[in-house]
Amino acid sequence: MNNTNTPRPAPVADWVDINTLYHDPYPIYERLRREGGVHWVPSVNRYLITSYDAVITTEHDQETFSANEQDSLQIRAMGHSMLRRDDPEHYHERRQWQSVFKPNVVKNVWTQTFHEKGREQLAHLIEKGPGADLIWDFAAPFAAECLKELLGLHNASSEDMQRWSQTLIDATGNYADDPDVWAAGKRSFDEVDIALDEMLEWHRHNRDHSLISSLLSSPEDQMPMEKIRANIKMSIGGGLNEPRDALGVAAWAMLTHPEQRQAAERDPSLWSTVFDESIRWIAPIGLYSRQTTQKTVLAGVELPKGARLGICILSANRDESVWERADEFDIHREVKPHLAFSKGTHVCLGARAARAQIADVALPLLFNHLKGLRVHPDREPTVGGWVFRGMLSLPVTWDSVVSLDENSTDATASAATCEAEATPHVAIVGSGPAGCFTAKEIQRRMPGAHIDLIDRLPVPYGLLRYGVAGDHQGTKAVSGQFDRLFDSPKVRFIGNTTIGDQISFEALRADYDAVVLASGVRADRRLEIPGEDLSGVFGAGCITRRLNGHPHETTTPTLGRRVAITGQGNVAIDVLRLLSIRSEELEGSDIDDAVHSTLTHEIATLHIIGRSSAEKARFDPVMIRELGRFSGITHRLHGVDLDRVPEGKDARLDALRTLPGACQAEVEGTPSMMVEWWFEATPEQIDGQDKVEGISLRHGGKTVSLPVDSVITAIGFVPDPEDTISKALAELPSAPETGRVEAGLYLAGWLRRDARGTIPDQRTDARALAGVIGGDIATGAVTCTLEGLTPPVDATDIDGWRRIDHQERNQTAPGRVRTKLTTLEALLESARNESIVLEQRPEGTAGDGESLGDLSVSILFGTESGNAELVAEELEQALNGRCAVEVADLGDVDPESLDPNRLHLIVCSTYGDGEVPGGANEFYQALRDDAPDLSNIRFASLGLGDSSYARTYSRGGELLTEAMMACGATRIGEFGRHDASGSLSASDVALDWVEGVLNLVTSEEPVPA
């Protein structure tokens, strides 16, 4: 629920009619959003929920916004399927359904089937000849044939499947109560039952990979027959119409946006982006229903108990408050979480299969084999629908056909072969996360590539070494993956080399086939207020680099007793934490103790100032909760009412509640420092004559003057205009979202994203950028003819870095993981000291599928929608053969039974409600109520969540982690997270996360061979 102070009755939109909604709902939805997003609409006899925020809210709380609608049209049309059930009933049915849609099954079984069916149906389209309809002569029969195989309804024809799907779907959306629609739906209802009965008997004796066979393979837990029937009908409805309509819209979008089509044809990895943007632009499922179980308030509108809601995805996916130019199709727009696959516990189970059908198979087939494919000049395409929306017709023509012979080489295979055999020389300027991830992805796509990572510093890893807070070693663990990158003789590190000094920008371009600029942005963004140039104003970058021993930061500032930090993002919270905690609380870090002591020894008061409300602050709630664990600090909040929102409904407010002194949380010991939090406060000026004496804020309609001795600005970073690369880029075309400035020159990381994005974001961008580079090579826009540069005579190499690494680790102060060399002279001396003997990487080091020796691992999952269980199985497959590994549901585990001789990997998925998932609740309550002694237990946590639920993102996983630690368990590494609204798969994120955890584990102690 999202209560407001003055809830209002629902406005009545009696001007909305169904016929207009069918033909073009978007003007209606735009007006409804503008007028608040929640309306009573008499013509459809329900409340329409049209704004993005309101739609998201309905997915937060299934106890209030129930899928189990009384007298549901879908239940009448198809039977009572899992889509019209809430947990735990919903999850029990979903779990039995999901085996067919596991990532490895989609990849290893169904994608091949989709290719076979795609070629068959494309051949039929070609037989029809130019003038055929792409929807009814390709998309619909292709979707029907794929669904037949997935379900195992081998006795049905494509025509049967299409008729059943359409009539069942029409009945589900029969808000006009048309008797003919009901009659057609009932005929299909009965026909499906007859076909299903026949195939159930067949599958009892002829097992295959299909859903029906899967359901029959677990007789001890077999779904009741009426539920099987209902869910099969639900799958026929959604599993055919949705991919058909998504494919039709995607094809239409490509045919009407030639520049974006060209980009996708040049870089086949963009077909997945085309798919996502298509279903955002025109969502195949335009509306689904919910019903309130109690009186509530949504977007300021009071709703009665039993209110029937129409959740308008077509509208929410075009909400202007989320997307700029929301009505336009643009594959290059910033990725944001669309709602076409729903959210929360009912997130679409078939999403992976649909993506494989369309992005991996159908779109490449169409555009690679039909040359000159275009809309027929004499016939207009048509689109319609509002409950379900898609192309009604798409007549096309083409010039020629590339052979469909299985042995022929189509354009995609040609491009892939061209990339795989390419031997470009690539320079990557910057060896931080963006540069290293890009190198890894280029190496993966083009094993023959020669890659030079060039860095102005003698050491690699940039932000990981000098930007990430030194007490967050888990975040830095990804450098273990990068270490292995340089094991390849085709990858070189060229350190102590500045573009513009040792190598000119022109020489770089002239000697490499491709140049990727990944050098980041370092200059602190200015506040642009009076007094900013006073002595005592420092940038956050200066402070974090100094604490991290950066050789270019040689002076430790004097901050005084009272310090103001402007900004409340994660960098600001890092600075706050490092300035407020004691030296003994930095155990296991690589912080420079002398610098830390000089910076912090006088501080008594810290003010942290942000323009946003607490609910919209840019910090990660996990980092706020971390602050609450440090002793001797008390917190005071200004501009936030924690009682206004119930506990458990806003992760940021819940995190602030845990701060000692801020709410009911007690302060441990005698406070030695006060932290004052200022929300919705705008700095107006920094006060003082020659040096900082105070800062003035606009807060609560008044000016507040705070006496302070120094100000630290933490509002972001900008490029240094005097930097050689910045000057060169100023003379070139601006790079679009793809990062491609021009053929052969590309941007990565913060240079590409205007100083936005986390380390996981860099991994995502790197994969896309490698595809762009590979596409340019495949099309000949970039040729592989150059040989790269000879490193400057004073450059350092990877062996130099390994000598530095060896020395820093072996001169470590007590309680620290390394003691950094902090001057260029010391770094260079160590890099060139050949008396330092480099150790071989141990055979048991985690990574690259190597053995983990005697290590035993338990993977424990807690789930709502089944996603965590799928990820747990993926991790099991990855670790199988490397160590002793087992998987268990947290619902079957007693905390006191955890084996101290095993490493426990906890994978927990929660979406929206902020609660521990139902399956893990007993485990969690046992931790809370019984407080077992887990002091000998080591574990790592991965939370699966959705950042579109900003208030409760992955909170369930965090609660489990906190409860484990409260019982004495030791967490290895940082809390890992996957964002379901992002572009990376949960499996990819989980595999990277587990390698980081294993690197930490194997670096702590020898792993027996």
Check if the beta carbon of residue 255 is closer than 8 Å to that of residue 265.
no
Cα(465)–Cα(34) distance, rounded to whole angstroms? 47
Beta-carbon contacts of 378 under 8 Å, excluding residues fewer than 6 positions away, are: none
Mean pLDDT of 9-26: 95
Least reliable range by pLDDT among 271-285, 373-387, 665-679:
665-679
Beta strands 38-41 and 46-49 are antiparallel
Please determine, for residue 155, whether its predicted confidence score (pLDDT) is greater than 50: yes
Residue 48: band (very low, low, confident or very high) from pLDDT cuts 50, 70, 90:
very high
141 pLDDT above the threshold of 70 = yes
pLDDT at position 373? 97
What gap in Å lies between CA 613 and CA 889, rounded to an integer? 39
pLDDT for 467 beyond 60: yes
Amino acid 378: pLDDT: 93
pLDDT (tens digit, 9 = 90+) per residue, 405-435?
Answer: 754 445 555 555 676 788 999 999 999 989 9
pLDDT band for position 4 (50/70/90)?
very low
Quick one: three-class SS letters along 99-166?
Answer: HHHCHHHHHHHHHHHHHHHHHHHHHHHHHHCCCCECHHHHHHHHHHHHHHHHHCCCCCCHHHHHHHHH
Q: What is the pLDDT of residue 151?
A: 94
Average pLDDT estimate for 46-74: 89
Which 3 state secondary structure label does DSSP give 908?
strand
Q: Model confidence at 923, in pLDDT bands (50, 70, 90)?
A: very high
Nearest to 60 by CA among 259, 311, 266, 253: 311
> Residue 263's pLDDT is what?
84
Q: Is 357 exposed, middle or buried (0-12, 13-18, 19+ CB in 10 A)?
A: buried
Q: What is the pLDDT of residue 953?
A: 74
Q: Of 943, 949, 976, nearest to 864 (Cα)?
A: 943
Number of H helices, E strands in the chain: 37, 36
Q: What is the 3-state secondary structure (H, E, C) of 4-24?
A: CCCCECCCECCCCCHHHHHHC
Q: Is the pLDDT of residue 332 over 90?
A: no
The conformational region for residue 744 under phi > 0 = left, psi -120 to 50 = alpha, else beta, is left
| 3-class DSSP assignment, residue 38 | strand
Report how far residue 675's alpha carbon sits from residue 580's, in angstroms, rounded to the nearest whole number: 8
Q: What is the pLDDT of residue 773?
A: 92
Average pLDDT in the chain: 87
pLDDT of 899 reads 95
808 pLDDT higher than 60: yes
Calculate mean pLDDT across residues 317-322. Answer: 94
Which of these, 93, 87, 80, lies nearest to 62 by C-alpha position?
A: 87
Residue 2: per-residue pLDDT: 45
* pTM, two decimal places: 0.70
Per-residue model confidence as pLDDT tens digits over 481-494: 788 889 899 999 99
